[in-house]
């Protein structure tokens, strides 16, 4: 009876295990399919964006010599000479550049030759520019060059919107291969790219370049490269040029009209299905064997699983380090038995580990984690500490130290050694660390979880800074949190009570050192904490949206000040006010701005609005606001010009009057004597010269030395502001300054 009851119970358990395992496997298979699709699509989109970025570079390079004022003159000789003189400034991949005159159908080449293009070329049609500010052609074969190429084009329209001319850059198709050869995809997978007509721009077999592919298998005969070019964004099963069945993932490449595809062999998922069947068979076999063993070895099996369970709660299966639970237990014991000790707790992980996991796959990511754990373990053991692994890429270490300064010195050395070793590893990754210290003399009741939380918070403060690999938890971080909560709790009341006030920093004309303007800067004076600087509250207000209210408060204070000066017949200069990046609705901004402005009888030329290139707004929105301000008679400056991602493109869209350059340009590369090195000086001179060609006034901020002032004067910069002339001044001090320097 005991045998039969054990057999019956065992059989029921095994059937239940098999049913549950099958259910879990089905869900696991579905999830694997979803992850497979997501991973393939993410890789494809990532490389599509990368290729589009390179193509944008070609366009940006072409735009850099697109001198609109010159092209408006319609003097083709001058245009031709300008093209020949400036072709060396273009991207090195551009082989030929020419200006195409639409009216005469004549092309003026950078090599000096002038060629009548005959019939209209499809890549030079007006329709190419209906929905885009530039155009990237399909593959081109031309009598004017003996290789397959594509053309990047910048159009120019007359006042009636008619196409007048096109600036063209010819790039060899071969240059595209360098963009995809670095694509890290699964083995036996293939990357392709086709143009709008389905002709191959990129193919591993270069004999396919410029051709259309039609599968031989009747089942897939309609899945041609022309279909891929039309559908652009799809996942479809098809046949490749080798006759292999593949999953073809496709996505458009930016605004080019091209399509990037990656073909993954169908065998990838077939392996998963095969593994599932093998696993089912294994489950059946294991179930039968387990049932038999259960009858004879019940006690031994129970004991075995008990021991196995104990091991799993102590050691991490992948790294063989302690689990977090075990680490916390041992760390608590160490802290409890060392009442006078000083300890350093470190949390370590890998920057952007999720991306690494997606890019290289789970198996390779596990190898990275194991390798990383060996490096960390070596350091911790060397310093007689303990180490454990938490979830994913998180590791924790506790080390007994004698001195914080000496411990940090040793820690920095260990990081340097670790980084050198990581550079030699197959997969490049970037460690980051959060650190906290605890003195048992000062803190008697210590929680390991609390220390881990402190280290984790410290690490979170460096997530956006690639130049920093570690951060220390200290009272400053707590104070920062407290300060932010304080500011958010008081900001509305502070605005009502007039705690915010405006200061004015003079702008000086370099040609005669006279005052020609000023920038309005906001400050915050609190009754209990005193003066709070903009660097502390502006970023916070941008995040919570309060900055827009503060902007309009500053505008009114400035308008009020100018109005008072005019009524009293006192001198006044134009004042610039900042428009924060949060204003993203042009109509709403202009309505509220003008509502305040119209309350004061002041001429609009005394107000300049400073917009910022690194705004949340797109170029079109910035352009709309700029044009609206111009219509009302205000001038517009672009603040921090050059610090964004597409400065030259920005200027083609946003017609500002003034370019303001940040002080970082002057501090980027300075010699021991305080002067700029030759490369930096030359770069700044090019920026100023470009601004002159574009008929923009130039202003440099942060001028603090005579050497900086003299350099900017020598390259014909228009205006400067900075401590060399004056710090920001309160209203009464600025009035005094005006009386002496106008």
Q: What is the DSSP string of 498-540?
A: T-EEEEEEEEEETTTTEEEEEEEEEEEEETTTEEE-HHHHHHH
Tell me how far CA of residue 724 lies from CA of 574, 706, 721, in angstroms. 20, 7, 8
Collapse the DSSP code of 698 into the 3-class scheme (helix H, G, I; strand E, B; otherwise coil) and give the result: strand
Where helices occur in 64-173 by DSSP H, the ranges are: 68-72, 76-86
Helices (H), 571-633: 586-597, 619-631
pLDDT score recorded for residue 231? 84
330 has pLDDT over 90: yes
539's tokens: 């970023």
Tell me which DSSP letter residue 121 carries: P
What's the average model confidence in pLDDT over 570-594? 91
Interval 87-105: pLDDT, tens: 888 889 999 999 898 888 8
Residues in contact with 373: Cβ distance below 8 Å, sequence separation at least 6, in sequence order: 318, 319, 321, 389, 395
Euclidean distance between CA atoms 488 and 432, whole angstroms: 30
Cβ-contact 171, 95 below 8 angstroms: yes
| CA gap 651, 665 in Å, rounded | 19
Buried b (16+ CB within 10 A) or exposed e, 266-293: eebbeeeeeebeebeeebeebbeebbee
- Tell me the mean pLDDT in the region 670-684: 77
Mean pLDDT along residues 128-134: 79
Return d(Cα 596, Cα 593) in angstroms, integer. 6
Mean pLDDT over each residue of the chain, to the nearest integer = 85
* Residue 631 CB burial class (10 angstroms; 0-12, 13-18, ≥19): exposed
The residue among 134, 128, 171, 169 whose CA lies nearest residue 155 is 134
pLDDT per residue as tens digits for the range 438-451: 987 777 778 899 89
- pLDDT (0 to 100) of residue 342: 92
The mean pLDDT of 623-636, rounded to a whole number, is: 94
Q: Is the pLDDT of residue 553 over 90?
A: yes
717, 702 contact by CB (below 8 A): no
What pLDDT does 268 receive?
A: 64
Return the pLDDT at 123.
83
| pLDDT tens digits, 216-274 | 999 999 999 999 998 888 899 999 988 899 999 999 988 888 999 998 888 766 666 66
Say if residues 697 and 719 touch (Cβ distance below 8 Å). Answer: yes
The DSSP secondary-structure symbol of 650 reads: H
Quickly count: other Cβ atoms within 10 Å of residue 588's Cβ.
11
SS (H, E, C) 298-317: HHHHHHHHHHHHHHHHHECC
Entry pTM: 0.45
The answer on pLDDT for 131 being more than 90 is: no
Burial class (CB in 10 A: 0-12, 13-18, 19+), 679: exposed
Q: Can you give the pLDDT at residue 1?
A: 44
Confidence of residue 275 (pLDDT cuts 50, 70, 90): low
Residue 702 pLDDT > 80: yes
Mean pLDDT of 23-37: 73
- Using CA atoms, how far residue 443 sits from 309, 446, 455, in Å, is 36, 6, 17
Q: Can you give the pLDDT at residue 392?
A: 86
- Choose the weakest-confidence range: 46-50, 72-76, 675-679: 72-76
Q: Rounded mean pLDDT of 153-173?
A: 88
Say which range, 349-358, 365-374, 431-440, has the weakest mean pLDDT.
349-358
Sheet strand arrangement including 322-323: 322-323, 386-389, 395-401, 342-350, 431-439, 470-472
List the alpha helices (DSSP H) in 157-266.
174-180, 225-231
Q: How far is CA 459 from CA 315, 348, 353, 512, 718, in A?
A: 25, 8, 14, 51, 44
Q: What's the number of CA atoms in the CB half-sphere (13 Å) around residue 264?
A: 21
Query: How many residues are there in the chain?
Result: 742
Look at residue 673 and tell me whether its pLDDT is greater than 70: no
Contacts of 506 (CB under 8 A, 6+ apart): 515, 517, 518, 721, 725, 726, 729, 734, 737, 741
Query: Would you state the pLDDT for residue 308?
Result: 52
Tens of pLDDT, residue by residue over 293-324, are 766 665 565 455 445 545 557 889 999 999 99
User: pLDDT per residue over 484-512, tens digit each?
Assistant: 888 999 999 999 999 999 999 999 999 99
How many other C-beta atoms can be found within 10 angstroms of the C-beta atom of residue 219? Answer: 11
d(CA 241, CA 261): 14
Q: Give the number of other Cβ atoms within 10 Å of residue 706's Cβ.
A: 10
Find all residues with CB under 8 Å of 728, minimum gap 6, and list them: 503, 504, 505, 521, 523
């Amino acid at each position: 009876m005991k045998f039969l009851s054990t057999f019956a119970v065992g059989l029921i358990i095994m059937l239940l295990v098999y049913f549950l395992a099958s259910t879990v496997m089905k869900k696991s298979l579905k999830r694997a399919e979803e992850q497979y699709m997501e991973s393939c699509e993410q890789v494809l989109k990532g490389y599509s964006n990368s290729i589009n970025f390179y193509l944008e570079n070609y366009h940006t390079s072409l735009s850099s010599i697109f001198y609109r004022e010159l092209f408006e003159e319609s003097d083709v000789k001058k245009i031709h000479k300008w093209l020949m003189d400036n072709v060396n400034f273009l991207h090195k991949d551009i082989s030929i550049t020419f200006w195409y005159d639409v009216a005469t159908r004549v092309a003026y080449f950078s090599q000096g030759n002038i060629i009548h293009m005959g019939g209209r070329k499809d890549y030079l049609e007006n329709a190419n520019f209906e929905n885009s500010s530039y155009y990237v052609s399909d593959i081109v074969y031309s009598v004017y060059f003996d290789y397959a190429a594509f053309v990047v084009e910048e159009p120019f329209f007359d006042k009636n919107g008619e196409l007048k001319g096109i600036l063209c850059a010819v790039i060899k198709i071969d240059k595209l291969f360098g963009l995809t050869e670095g694509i890290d995809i699964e083995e036996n997978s293939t990357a392709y790219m086709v143009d709008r007509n389905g002709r191959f721009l990129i193919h591993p077999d270069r004999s396919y370049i410029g051709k259309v592919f039609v599968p031989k298998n009747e089942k897939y005969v309609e899945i041609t490269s022309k279909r891929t070019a039309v559908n652009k964004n799809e996942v479809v099963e098809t046949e490749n040029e080798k006759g292999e069945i593949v999953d073809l993932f496709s996505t458009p490449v930016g605004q080019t009209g091209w399509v990037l595809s990656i073909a993954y062999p169908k065998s990838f998922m077939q392996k998963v299905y095969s593994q599932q069947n093998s696993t089912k068979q294994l489950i059946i076999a294991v179930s039968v064997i387990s049932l038999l063993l259960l009858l004879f070895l019940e006690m031994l099996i129970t004991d075995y699983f008990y021991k196995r369970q104990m091991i799993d709660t102590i050691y991490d299966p992948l790294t063989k380090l302690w689990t977090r639970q075990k680490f916390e237990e041992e760390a608590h014991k160490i802290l409890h038995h060392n009442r006078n000790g000083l300890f350093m707790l470190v949390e370590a992980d890998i920057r952007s580990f999720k991306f690494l996991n997606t890019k290289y796959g789970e198996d390779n990511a596990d190898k990275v984690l194991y390798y990383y754990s060996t490096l960390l373990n070596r350091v911790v053991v060397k310093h007689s500490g303990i180490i454990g692994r938490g979830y994913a890429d998180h590791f924790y270490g506790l080390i007994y130290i004698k001195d914080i300064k000496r411990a940090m010195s040793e820690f920095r050395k260990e990081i340097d050694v670790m980084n050198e070793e990581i550079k030699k590893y197959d997969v490049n990754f970037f460690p980051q660390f959060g650190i906290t210290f605890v003195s048992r003399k000062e803190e008697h009741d210590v929680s390991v979880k609390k220390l881990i939380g402190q280290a984790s918070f410290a690490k979170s403060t460096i997530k956006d800074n690639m130049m920093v690999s570690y951060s220390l938890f200290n009272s400053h971080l707590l104070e920062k949190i407290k300060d932010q909560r304080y500011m958010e709790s008081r900001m509305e009341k502070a605005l009502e009570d007039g705690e915010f006030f405006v200061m004015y920093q003079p702008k000086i004309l370099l040609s005669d050192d006279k005052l020609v303007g000023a920038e309005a800067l906001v400050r915050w004076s609190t009754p209990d904490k005193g003066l709070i600087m903009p660097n502390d509250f502006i970023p916070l207000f941008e995040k919570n949206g309060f900055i827009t209210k503060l902007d309009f408060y500053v505008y009114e204070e400035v308008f009020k000040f100018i109005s008072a000066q005019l009524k009293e017949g006192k001198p006044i200069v134009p004042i610039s006010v900042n428009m924060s990046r949060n204003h993203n609705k042009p109509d709403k901004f202009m309505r509220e701005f003008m509502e305040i402005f119209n309350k004061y009888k002041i001429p609009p030329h005394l107000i300049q609005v400073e917009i910022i290139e690194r705004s949340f707004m797109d170029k079109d929105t910035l352009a709309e606001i700029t044009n609206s301000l111009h219509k009302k008679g205000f001038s517009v400056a672009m603040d921090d010009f050059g610090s964004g991602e597409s400065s030259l493109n920005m200027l083609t869209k946003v017609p500002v009057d003034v370019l303001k350059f940040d002080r970082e340009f002057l501090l980027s590369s300075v010699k021991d004597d305080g002067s700029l090195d030759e490369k930096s000086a030359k770069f700044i001179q090019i920026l100023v010269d470009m601004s002159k060609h574009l008929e923009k006034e130039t202003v440099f901020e942060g001028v603090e030395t005579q050497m900086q002032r003299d350099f900017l004067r020598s390259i014909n910069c228009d205006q400067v502001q900075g401590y060399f002339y004056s710090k920001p001044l309160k209203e009464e001090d600025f009035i005094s300054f005006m009386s002496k320097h106008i």
